[in-house]
Structure 1
């Protein structure tokens, strides 16, 4: 029988097995190829933490020559059995169903590991899947990639040889076909698990830039579902500012100019926010080398970027704060004994940037002799660890030879054993502050001396009006000890009649409505006596302007007030005497004024007598005559009462007075004398004048004196008319007496108001002097002005309340 006839059935039986083996080889090669593109490696374990798979181009850097670890416990691979090691602990957390991350040092390189539970088709945990990324330098990662490629090629060669051998033994391995197919399905499942459960974003992108497939990590990273990401393009996912660079990287990859690329790239989250990623991408080709698609790995580095930005912001804020504070900086290398001095540090001492080198003596040699020892002692104490900070104020010599006050602060940096090896700090020019403090100290000392040793009584008063501090003069003035006064308020020692005004003004000054006030008031002494004082009060304010204390300066004026009272009595007596003298001078006019009602009374009385004697008296006629007699008697009584009121003696009594009424009374008093001299009195009064606080009799005396002077000045004049005006101003009432007389001689001027100065041959020269005194006692002014044509106008004003 021909040999071909014998071998043909065997070849037919071996063909399916060979095809399955070839499919398995291609799929595993494909899986190895895809995993080899990951910048790290992947491994899986069963539930006993035995390694079942290790794949990835990063393995050659840590365990490339020890494949026997497969099937062994993970600790055999890690080189440690410590259950508390981060990597073993992370595996245990993954077995409990939790994702875990850790870092692992392998062969001098640092890897970032992410572990997830590996689940079977029914969802139960079948082991652990882990992925590690080399986070060492990029060049080392590229070298590891090349090594991984070589290892992969070697393994592919080994697998190819094994498959050739298997092909030769197909007849003996037909029974193993089902196992091979199961292994293929398991391999595909492992790849799917590795892709879907990878802790970083992964995507397969077709050649026109649209996503073919992506894992859950990428979807969560960008806020989309996996279905929403399919067919997305770079232009839709990358900010416009980054799009050109991203497209250029992809073009170079597809053109074969690079095998892969890595870049920090921004992506747009579905919510619109920016996600920073470390992106690596490589090109997947078919067996003939034709490009199929690209695979991209995206690691979320947003937190790191935010931390870097926060650091930059912090550094910028620190730089701005230092510049804003206008402080100089210094940095002392203790071990090298070299110091860095910033340009501002040098400028504070008047030096240019190129002056003052790194020698600390440049600072030490400038210390004021009196401050050098304390500064050194403070520095040494801080370096020994006795003081937590170095902070000291001292004087240091400026380049112009003067000394400046500075505040130096610093902090030492120490090694693990506590030895300082570096110290840095700042220098602040506080010369102006120290000068202000010195001026304040001197001011406080002056205030203390004035307060404690001054001749005036002084007191500090709280917001509740209680005495907080008093000096010895105040105590002697009131007869109290300091302790006794400090228990009182100023209301306790103020005369009741003066308290209302004092309290009102104190409230205004504490409220900031007035800056200060000055009043004359009475205090009640401890023995019960009264003293007059002049009080000047203001407030002491805090930094924000709020009142802290009231301060009062008290001058005793009891003797002066007694002298004033005596002077007032004397003035009143003198004014009364002048009024008596005035009425004496007006006696003829008074007699003439009384003669009219007396003559009328006599006439009516004689008529009644005549009619009664004749027996022809009618009751109606007699009644009329008697009524006229009574009316004329009342008129005479009013004339006498008016003159009697004018002659009233006694202390001045201030009451509410209508100035128009005063002027009208004077007009009536002076009317007889004016008619006798041929002078007409005209009153031009502003209606509804507000009343003033005054002594009405004294005001009548002033107006009458001015009117009589005007009448006297117009004797033998033509026309002889006298006008009295009242005018209401903004804060005062003015009274003016205007004549057309001979006027005041220019050489007299203001002397006309001096005592014993007169233009009358028989005058005393006291009328105008007393009139001015009375007006000024009422808070007003009295003066005279020459009229444009002829005569003089005397004016006085009285303040409104």
Structure 2
């Protein structure tokens, strides 16, 4: 029994060593676990053996069958040997596999195609090598789609789905974008791979076909070039054939056109000689007959002449010819606005001939013209502008129905000649009619005796006159002819010389005022104008108006105006009487007080010399003040002739303000002055200007006093405006002027006051305008009104006196007071 135990121990030891070796080399836990189980089965025997040897029992109830122990040892050795054999077989298989993998790797490395393994998401799991700028490390683990252009993604994804999901092989050509941006082409043959069902990967064999693609593209390009050359050659042959046909047709057309041109020129030659001596009454039928001949020779269907009127431009057809079967349109084209056909009107206005062989040649902006011509089935047309001198008179047009006609430049030039011939005849006809009409009007005017009429020559010899002129000057027909220089006073002779020179050079002498000697010796004021009737004969017509009654009426108006101004000033002063008395009372009271004081002190002998001098100085100052008030009043009321002189406008404003101060203090209205410095003088009458400004101030004071709210103030400003003229602004804070009355305030006799004459603002306007200035109003601050006066700088020429007739020449711009 001891020998068996020892043998079992030896066997188990050997089995343990083999198990450890197997685990170290095999690394298979299942085989190692089987051997370890057998070893553990023999552990109790080993303990018993050790207990028997050492005579130290491990436990009292522990005992093993020696045969069983030996059997376990044998099985452990056999199991270990079997495991060792398995390990050896696996090692040999691993060596063989290593040799196969090395050979496969060598094949994959040397094969020209790229072999990839990709999963369902196109992620690259394996790549044998790369023939692009991407390395294997760049590709493995990344999506294969990132190397493809975006437009190829869908095709690749569809192919992968077909291979992996359906287990079919797919082949397709895909482009790849290399790292440097260049494009490569590959034929990808895709096979299902993997042990699953369906497979979870696909094997892709990518063959580089870039060179083949380039070759195919080059072959395609060569084929396209060859096809293009064949097409071009075919086109050239067809074009040559067409050109040959066109040349034949063109030659025939040229022959016809040459014949038409010869016939056209023959007709034009006949027209030139025919229209030269044609009576004006026969011109219209002759033009219509010529249009018919020209239309028949040129093969056109419609010919017409249109005249253009200005402002706005409108066309009226004056002459027309239509071939049989063509409806006339002369009744439709009368006062036709050219703005309806802007493209055609632009060409005509630029004097550019328009020739269209096909309506399709018209630009889009000629849409309305195209519609109009299509409605009459006209296919081609030509329009040639006609000018009289440098002025656009109208145009001549030729149109063809239903066919194309080429209008050559030489034909257009001939049509221009035809148009000029027609226009020359029409101008002569119009001139003849105008001359007859003018002669008739002049004869009626001459015989009507409404005004004086004369016939003279360019040397001033008057050889005929109507009764009105003869009655005006006191001469009879037996006294004719007369000379201008004999009828004209010496001081007016220079005007006659200027008039005769103007007639010789410009054909007219502008109207001029002068005087004629009456036969009895007194002078007759006249207004005379002269015009040249016939340059060749030098015949002139003159018109003479007797200004005697007008001059007398003007003088009467001047006198009435002067009286009216005086009455207006008296009216103003009448309104200011109470204030004037108060203004004079103050200095007189001061004078009286100082005089009484001096008398009392002198009687008491208490007044010393310095006090007497001081008192007398104050008396003198107050006397001067009273005298200044009386002077301004006297100057303002004094009836005198207008005195034109240089006037300081600021002094005029101050005088007017002094005169208005009495009224302003009574009505508790403050007048503020803002007068500009170094204002230039104006040329005028100081009294008239003072009256105009005073009227505006008094109106403003009254309006401001009637306003229950707002400040009671009038502002007077003077300055130089942007035109270097002197400007005065008078602004009040009154109730303002109603909008409906603003256009009437400067009218004569217009007033809103119950006791007013309605002449104050009218005289203001007349005065300012007579001084070459302007006056107007505008709304001011605090609902008030501003009056603005602008007067020019002083000039040396005299101004005419103010006349009442000028008060109604211009409409008013402001409102009444």
The answer to whether TM tops 0.5 is no
Higher helix share: 2
**TM-score normalised to the size of structure 1?**
0.41
* TM-score w.r.t. length of structure 2: 0.41
Rg bigger for which structure? Answer: 2
Higher strand share: 1
